[in-house]
Amino acid sequence: MGCWESKNVDSPRRPSLFRSSAVYTTPEFGLGPPPGKLSPEELADVKHIMNTLRTEQLDLVMVSCMYDKLFQVHPSVKQMFINAAFLDPEYALGCTSDPWFQGFLKAYINAIIKYILLQADETKLQEFLGDLKESHLRVAGIEKIHVEMMMQFLYMGFVQTMGSSIDQRKRSALEHLLSLLYHDALQFLPLTSDSRPPAVTDDASSIRAAS
């Protein structure tokens, strides 16, 4: 099965992350300028990625393939995901009670973490992931504390981005959401403080076993 062959599961009700009213301005994140309008083809690609993230049991190979494709869709598509999720007050307040949206965000953060474990650039991640060691497809040294630090980084980034518009209610919603994401993300770690990862080779079966 190729990277992009997935079940086409559509929810009868789900919020649109691509409404024209969404706010797309967060230069504080340093992820480049906000995206322009997506073409119908680009939008279809992004929606397909979202559906796959929330419906598939992802392994490291698929995550790698998906992110390679995701960042080709649009130069600032990562920025768009963050903006759509956290800058619209409706989503900031409702994300912890909407099952679809909560599920998507959990899958999205899990995919980010799994992608980082597979092929992260250590120099770019060292600030908030701590002692990250990577050699080809074998990862060592990832512990709970690194995920905790990553969640703290995300939280502070979201708070900074929302700026003066974030009140205590929105802050509590973000804290609750990131707490859920943190506990869910721990399931995807290849090791904890009291275990070590197995040796991983290039073949897909070994990668899936390690994930």
Give one DSSP letter per residue of 36-59, joined into a string. -PPPHHHHHHHHHHHHHHHHS---
Q: Is residue 137 part of a domain?
A: yes
Q: Structural domain of residue 102, as residue ranges?
A: 38-210
A 10 A CB-CB count for 151 gives 21
Residue type, 152: Q
pLDDT digits (tens, 9 = 90+) for 10-35: 333 333 222 222 332 222 323 333 33
Q: Is residue 32 part of a domain?
A: no
Task: Write the secondary structure of 92-116 as one string of H (helix), E (strand) and C (coil).
Answer: HHHCCCCHHHHHHHHHHHHHHHHHH
Q: Is residue 86 part of a domain?
A: yes
pLDDT at 3: 30
Q: Is residue 192 part of a domain?
A: yes
pLDDT digits (tens, 9 = 90+) for 102-118: 454 455 555 455 444 44
Q: Is residue 190 part of a domain?
A: yes
The count of structural domains within the chain is 1
Q: Is residue 21 part of a domain?
A: no
> What percentage of the chain carries pLDDT values higher than 90?
0
The residue to which tokens 């690194």 are assigned:
146
Q: Is residue 42 part of a domain?
A: yes
Q: Is residue 56 part of a domain?
A: yes
Contact 150, 128 (CB under 8 A): yes
